[in-house]
Amino acid sequence: MEIIDLSTQNSILGRFVGEIRDVNIQNDRLRFRRNLERIGEIMSYEISKRFSYQPREVQTPLGISSANEYTDKVVLGTILRAGLAFHQGFLSYFDDAENAFVSAFRKYRENHESFHISIEYIASPSLDDKVLILTDPMLATGGSMELSYQALLTKGMPREIHIASIIASQEAIDFCAKKFADKNATLWVAGIDPELDEHSYIVPGLGDAGDLAYGPKD
């Protein structure tokens, strides 16, 4: 599995990642969601470089031109609910893509300390021989991503997989590298943080992306 950390390259991406981390900015929900979208748009551009292309003739008002357009069939998959705004950024660029949604969330046990990942909903087109871009802004343990992928395999086998996350822990990077080792998969991140706390939240991270985007939940 190839791992690409876009934070190693200087670009406008750094500003948007900095803003979603910044406690003085991130509580503006509209701006937080828009920054998630912007990061999704930038990642879309980077991922698009890996697609297959062919030229197409284009009739202009004054003649014939040529444009290279990708030929892959793309499915954008996202993990609810934090992934919705991030997903929209990808959809703004891959506007002809099909879409898949998985509800993977932490279900805490009675002690409110340990948890397991629960998947209760999946909606997806066929994935056979398509490029699957699976998005989730935070990759803490990697468990939700791996289980969501396994759930989506009930809809077919993609030809290529791109996992896109904004901030990942080193533990999650190592986990995904192991779980997707034999797949044609690439992991894209905009930052790798060193550790998880006792509740498996990324440190320094940014907090709960779903709550910041859409408000707290009971």
pLDDT digit string (tens) for the chain, length 218 residues: 999 999 999 999 999 999 999 999 999 999 999 999 999 999 999 999 999 999 999 999 999 999 999 999 999 999 988 889 999 999 999 999 999 999 876 666 666 566 566 777 899 999 999 999 999 999 999 988 998 999 999 999 999 999 999 999 999 999 999 999 999 999 999 999 999 998 889 999 999 999 999 998 77
For the stretch 8-16, contacts whose Cβ atoms lie closer than 8 Å and that sit 24 or more positions apart, written own/partner, are 11/42, 12/42, 13/39, 13/42, 13/190, 16/42
Residue 63 lies in a domain: no
Residue 180: beta bridge partners? none
pLDDT of residue 116: 63
30 HSE (CA, 13 A, CB side): 0
The residue written with tokens 């990708």 in the block is 70
| Enclosing domain of residue 17 | 2-50+73-214
User: Could you give the number of structural domains in the chain?
Assistant: 1
pLDDT value at residue 82: 84
With respect to residue 194, please indicate whether it lies within any of the assigned structural domains: yes
Q: Is residue 58 part of a domain?
A: no
Burial class of residue 100 (count of CB atoms within 10 Å of its CB; 0-12, 13-18, 19+): buried
Residue 183 lies in a domain: yes
Q: Return d(Cα 214, Cα 11) in angstroms, integer.
A: 27
Q: Are 46 and 189 in contact (CB under 8 A)?
A: no
**Structural domain includes residue 62:** no
- DSSP 8-state secondary structure symbol assigned to residue 204: S
Contact predicate 149/171, CB 8 Å: no
Give the pLDDT confidence score for residue 32 in this predicted structure.
97
Give domain status of residue 60, yes or no. Answer: no
Whether 133 is in a domain gets the answer yes
Assigned domain for 65 exists: no
Q: What is the CATH number of the domain that holds 123?
A: 3.40.50.2020
CB of 68 closer than 8 Å to CB of 55? yes
Q: CA 61, CA 187: separation in Å to the nearest integer?
A: 42
